[in-house]
Amino acid sequence: MKANRAYARATITGKGERALQDGHPWVYEAEIRRFELPSGQAWDNNGSLQAGAWSSPTSGTSGQEDSSISAPEEVNKRSAPARQERDTVRRAIWERRRRKEELSAPATDDEIIPLDALPDGSIVDVVNRKGTYLGTGLLSRHSRIRIRLVTRNANDDFSPAFWERKVRWAWEYRKTVMGSDANACRVIFSEADEFPGLIVDRFNDVLVTQTLSAGMERLKPVVFPALLKVFADDGITLRGIYERNDVATRRLEGLEQTTGWWREPAGDASLVVTDITENGVHYHVDVANGQKTGFFLDQKYNRRAVARIAQGRRVLDCCTHTGSFALNAALGGAEFVRAVDVSETAIAMARDNAQLNGPDVVSRMDFTVANIFDLLPELERTHNPERFDFIILDPPAFTKSRKTVSSAERGYREINYRAMRILPRGGYLATCSCSHFMDHERFKRMIAEAAQDAGVRLRQIEERQQAPDHPIVWGIPETDYLKCFLFQVV
């Protein structure tokens, strides 16, 4: 690594070093032991924003005592040996916890890194305890993910040319793997493209972004012009960049929620709808009001796989959103398609999209506002009166947290069990999950258990994942999130 670098340095623990060596690009708050500025000024803590966060309960500071753990002087008051032994164990656990946590937080305000010395989005070199360079990332002072790596090359200089080069690499990759489908694709996929916390989707003549980290928020004046330049160099005229920063996770980075055009667009600023074509299906995309960035691009080729087996079938598309699976099935030659969603707005958008694709499509489709947790049991109870022989399950993420994955698994099992009970022998099932916390093995185990409970066997047609414009990077499990299985019930 070059000497006399102009960036702050963070020395991290062995655990943090091993995670980076395994390919993960994040350094967590508790993995940082020391920050040092080029001036030599240093802080032997992790730069937490609150002093005394883990102060001893008996020290008279703001820390609060755990009432389940007896203070040392109370132990001698207890006469029962069993009680005394239990309290001794509790005291030892509390003491180990206190020592560990006090290593990870500053004791006084003087030990906290001043904002003007190292603001959010600062470039920070990451080194191990021997000073060996591990990578360089962007600082998030408010987040548990304290540093997000953007490079592991000590020779990178982080000039505007560096960021433009990274944007160009990302776009060249999309052109290669998506071909003509690159007119509607994900251009930048956060950590998978080393733009941590930045999502950029292209919908024809509009780019839609979500900026989810403090570092990328600070870099927008550099990265966004680079995006426009790279597309212009390719002869692509864009109306502008629309920001969808109406995401609750921005609060974890100390950022406000905002939406709107980044700079004035070319043309009418009130026009927030654009048109795309995917797999031959036409859609209106409302970039201001649609979910996430306006449209879910990751299922592009999974929808095409559904269309291939939909011909002549009666299809039930659960959680249709804007009708994408349903429309692919209809254009694939389905005899009848019912599109279901709990949102009236989503159903209205799906109906509009059907109109875009002509009267033949509209004549074979129906649109229903319903909760699938009510609809599927009713179809089972009434013995599938509409003779559906192909059911598509593409629900929103039932969990966005590891803590709630068991509850989410019960929800997935319920809808899959009901679908298997409804389908006739020889019928088809497409089932998906977009939560990375519901990993592949757990999802497959859930499907197997649902099939066993339903008394059916499954013949797997395909196991699929997200389209390649959402690349999976080995070592970053968060990039490997979408599961999609096609089965025949036998």
Active site residues: 434
Whether the Cβ atoms of residue 150 and residue 192 lie closer than 8 Å to each other? no
Rounded distance between C-alpha atoms, residue 183 and residue 276, angstroms: 8
Burial of 212 (0-12, 13-18, 19+ CB in 10 A): buried
Count of positions (residues) in the chain: 490
Please report where in the chains the tokens 């979500």 appear, as a residue.
Answer: 210
Rounded distance between C-alpha atoms, residue 12 and residue 16, angstroms: 6
Per DSSP, helices labelled H in 113-262 are: 160-178, 214-233
Per DSSP, helices labelled H in 159-213 are: 160-178
The neighbouring-strand residues paired with 340 are: 318, 368
DSSP notation for 75-96? GGG---HHHHHHHHHHHHHHHH
Angle between helices 405-422 and 372-381 (to 10 degrees): 30
Helix (H) or strand (E) holding 318: strand 314-318
CA nearest neighbour of 432 among 332, 342, 277, 306: 306
Rounded distance between C-alpha atoms, residue 186 and residue 207, angstroms: 9
Phi, psi of 288 (to 5 degrees): -90, -30
Rounded distance between C-alpha atoms, residue 296 and residue 272, angstroms: 17
Tokens of 477: 């499990």
Angle between helices 214-233 and 160-178 (to 10 degrees): 60
Residue 366, CB-side half-sphere exposure with 13 Å CA sphere: 12
Per DSSP, helices labelled H in 11-80 are: 14-21
